[in-house]
Structures are given as C-alpha cells and as structure tokens.
Amino acid sequence: MHIRVSNLSALFFAAAVLLPCTSEAAGPVGQVTHLSGTLTAKRADGSTKLFSTKSEVQEGDTLSTEQETYARIKFADGAEVVLRPGSQLKVANYAFDEAKPQSDNIVLNMLKGGFRAVTGLVGKRNRDAVNYATTTATIGIRGTHFGALICQNDCGNVPTATGKPPENGLHLDVADGAIVVRNAAGQQEINTGQFGFVRNANTPPAIVSPQQGIQVTMPTSISQNNASGRGVGKAKEGECAVQ
C-alpha cells in the first residue's frame, strides 16, 4: 500500500512539472500592435474573438479585417504583417524557438485580401522555413519586405496606372530583398523594385512592368513604427522607413 501511495505522489509530481511546459507551448505567437477598425480571430477550436490592440495571436487563428480596417501584427520572431481591409490570414503553423533554428517552421495562409510583410529572425536565419500560401501560389521569402494582394472581383477600389480595376489573381511587389513564387506551373524570383502577377494556380508566376504592377500601400498611422524598428508599408522612393 505504501508503494502505491508513493507511485501516486510521483505521478502528481511529474504532472505538476509538465504543466508549465504544456502552457508555454500553447502560448501566443504574436500580438496586435496597431488597429483601426474591427479585427476578429477564429480560433482553432471554432470560437471567435473580437481583437483589440495588444490582443495575442495564437497558432491556428484565422484573422479577419472588416471594411476600413487595417491591422498590424508583430510575431514572436520580430516579423510583422499589416492586413488590408477585407482580408483573411490564417496562422497555419508557427514553430519558433530562438535557441533552436532547426525547429523553425512558419506557414501563413492568405485566404483573402492583401497584406505587407517584413521578415523576422526566422526569415533571416532560415529563409526556407517561412512560407506564405495562397490558392494561387506559395510565396517564399529571401530577407524581404513585400506586398501581396489577391483580387477576386473585389479590388475595384485599388488604384492602377490604367484607372481600371486590377485583374483577378495574385499581385506582388517587393520593396526590399526578394521572394520566390511557386505553383504547379512554375516558379519565379521577384527582386527589389519588381512586380509580379499570378493569374491562377495553373498559370506560372511572372514579372510584370511597373505600369502593370500593383503596389500594396498602407496608411502612415499603421505602416510607420513609433518604436525602434522597420516600418511596414509604402515610404518615399519605395523604401521602408526606419525610425
């Protein structure tokens, strides 16, 4: 009987030791730093939460911005993403441990709308471990500041050089670094100052002229960083601001 009690005590002790680790593993992967409007998150368990500034983002969250809403999220590795109005982004996978580069694995699924993004530590030390997925193509990063916009008959308010709405498909622009865009039809590297377009999943990614390109822009109040760090959005001469 004494042996059974001891074993039971040992079991409780082991559970108590393991609990902090379980809680830490399920912790936040990012935080909302700037917000203008309504941002909601659908959690992996199906629940929905209304977000505000300083709300914590978890792996599995699908973030949705309403009309007139811009939201900026800073992730645990220092990467930042700014969502346009009417956008949906799912944090499909987020594995980051500063002491374990070999475990890096970040996948963000862009379901709708557009965003601008700046690479964090994972993208700098293990660039193949960061991917932005869309139904049209997958975007790999190369130490990057870039913009992406998915048009599905919903980009009528996006300005273009011709004055006509952008074509349906995935529009890309690179302000710094490079991206590699891939789908079943091929792949294309897009470098600083270049624009790209992918019509659909069966059409290879292509570089387009600046006259055909779409640059994803953000309001200054959202794109600029009040603390130290890089801005996310359009700055003078297409460079991202540093403050």
Pairing type for strands 62-65 and 206-208 reads unpaired
Structure tokens of 33? 């730093």
Structure tokens of 199? 């019509």
Which CATH number does the domain 31-234 belong to among 3.40.50.300, 2.60.120.1440, 2.30.30.50, 3.60.20.30? 2.60.120.1440
Q: What is the mean pLDDT of each successive set of 10 residues along the chain, which is 243 residues long?
A: 43 39 61 96 96 97 96 97 97 96 96 96 93 96 92 91 91 96 98 97 97 91 58 42 26
Tens digits of residue pLDDT in 215-227: 999 888 887 755 4
Tens digits of residue pLDDT in 75-107: 999 999 999 999 999 999 999 999 999 999 999
The pLDDT, as a whole number, for residue 143 is 78
